Structure formats: structure tokens, C-alpha cells
Amino acid sequence: MCSALCLIMALQNKRFVFVVLFILLFVNFIAWAAVYDLSRPKFLEVIFFDVGQGDGALIKTAEGHYILVDGGESSKMLEKLLAEIPFWKREIDLVILSHPHYDHFGGLIDIIERYQVKNILWNGVAEDSLAFERWQESVSKSDANIIISLAGQKIKGENFFIDILYPFINLEGIEFKDANLSSIYLRLVFQKTSFLFTGDGYKSNENELVQKEIFCQENNHYLCRVMFLDSDVLKVGHHGSKTSTSEEFVSAVLPEIAVISAGKNNRYGHPHKETLDLLERYDINILRTDLNGDIKIISDGKSLIFSTD
């Protein structure tokens, strides 16, 4: 009887020791991962994901923040994030929705349900669709701080900042016949490098931005906020459609790299030849998700390198 009891106690002790060792190893792994993360050189990464005919980008800041700009239309964006974000990271610092079209917000619904999202910035524009109702429901159920976009807003980190350049007025609750016109324009700056995101904005939106920048440069008006369009990387508007990317806008931005997010063999023919020809005339390096897959651009604060799938 004693030998059986002793055997049981020995097995229990072994199990207890195994559990303790496992916990210690796990804690040690987390500690080393944190040390490794802290010891890494400070880079900013922007990944433009191949999400098909839509937009979805992840910004990983040098401080360790995770920021999303749009999320495609399916769970593909979530799958991409699970491969890019360490499994112990359960928070996303900021989700930015450029405008309420499904190919930009559809994939964000699953992400908001999976991760703890601290902040959501979008333009608040109304859209009459069941999919949009799902988006609103997921936002309302989240614990995120909701921010309605407005030109002049600034999101600041230790080594980066994001300027909201457009829209110029509060659009909350307004229903657009074409929500592309309500797209948020934002500029991400990391030391001496910069990225310009354009949503699906049209040439008319671009013209407003160019004209305001010209006015701000020529007049010291009290309503003027400092505006800069020139950027090293331009996320091309509306998947490379000819409805966006005017020559005046390109000459104001003068990017080194143009990123086009479009689905392979999409039915819209994006990107259009007119857009590609214009970018080539300005000798801009064109990267396309439909041809290159995921596009990762890394900045050390002074220069850029990129890689593709």
C-alpha cells in the first residue's frame, strides 16, 4: 500500500517540477524576447500587404507601436498580422480607416474582435450597407478610443509622428454618394523619412491639398497649419486608378517610391496605364502588390530599403 502511495506522490512531484520548469522556461523566453526587442536597432517598418483588391498596411514603429491603415475586405489581413505580430502581443495601438468602403474596412472587423485596439481613427462618414453596420457594431463593442479625423491632428511618438492632412472639415454623420471623396490623407514621418497615405482619394481631393499647401507657403495666415506633401513614399490613391494621381500632386509629393495596392487581374484594370506612365515619367520606383506581393519598406530614419515577396 505504501509503495503505491509513494509512487503516486513521486509522480505528482515530478509533474509539479515539470510544470514549474515549464513556467520558468516560458518566463525566461519572454524575458529574453523582451531584451532582444530592446536591443534591436531602432527601425520603422511599413508593410503594404497583398490583400487583393483593397488596401491594408501595418506600421511598426521603432518604439514598438503597431498601427494599421485600412484592412482589406477579408480575413487575409488578419492572417498577415498573425505572421507579423509576436503571439504575446495582444494590443494594436491605432487603427486608421481611410474611408468606409468594404475593401478597406472589411478585414478590420475580425482584427478589432481579435486584438485589443486602443484607438480607432476614421472620418465618421455614414454608409448605407449591412457590411457598414457590422463595422459600426464592432467599433461600438470595442473599448477603443474613437477619434474623428480632421486636418491638423497630430499623432506623436518618441521618434515618429503622423499628420492628418485631410479632410479639412468634420465629416461625421455625413453620407457621401461616393465615399472615396471623404478619404483621409495622412503623412507618417520618422526622422528624415516620410510616407504619404491617400486612401481612395480623387484628383479633386489632391487639388485641394496642393492648393492649400501653395496658399500656406505664400501666406502667413492665422488659419494656416504647416503642410508638407513631399514624401519619400507615396501610397498611390485608389489602387492606381486614373481618377487619382494628378501630375500636380505627383510633382508636389515627388516620391522616391510609389506603392500601388491592387488585386491581381482585378476587373477594374487597376492600375491604369495613365497612372503608370506618369509615375515612370517622374522616374519613380513603382511597387505593386498585384505583381510583388507584400511590400516591406524599412527606414533607419535617414534612408529606405525595401523587400517584396
User: Is pLDDT above 90 for 22?
Assistant: no
Check whether 35 has a pLDDT greater than 80.
no
What is the average per-residue pLDDT within 113-132?
95
Q: Please say whether the beta carbons of 163 and 147 come within 8 A.
A: no
pTM for the model stands at 0.86
Nearest Cα to Cα of residue 126 among 186, 171, 168: 171
Arithmetic mean of pLDDT over the chain = 90
In this predicted model, what pLDDT tens digit does every residue of 149-197 receive, in sequence order?
A: 999 999 999 999 999 999 999 999 999 999 999 999 999 999 999 999 9
Distance CA 137, CA 158 (A): 33
Superfamily (CATH H level) for 42-308: Ribonuclease Z/Hydroxyacylglutathione hydrolase-like (3.60.15.10)
> At a CB cut-off of 8 Å and minimum separation 6, what does 212 contact?
168, 227
Q: Where are the domains of the chain?
A: 1-40, 42-308
Q: Which residue has the higher pLDDT, 220 or 293?
A: 293
Tell me, what DSSP letter sits at residue 62? T
Phi, psi values for residue 28, rounded to 5°: -65, -40
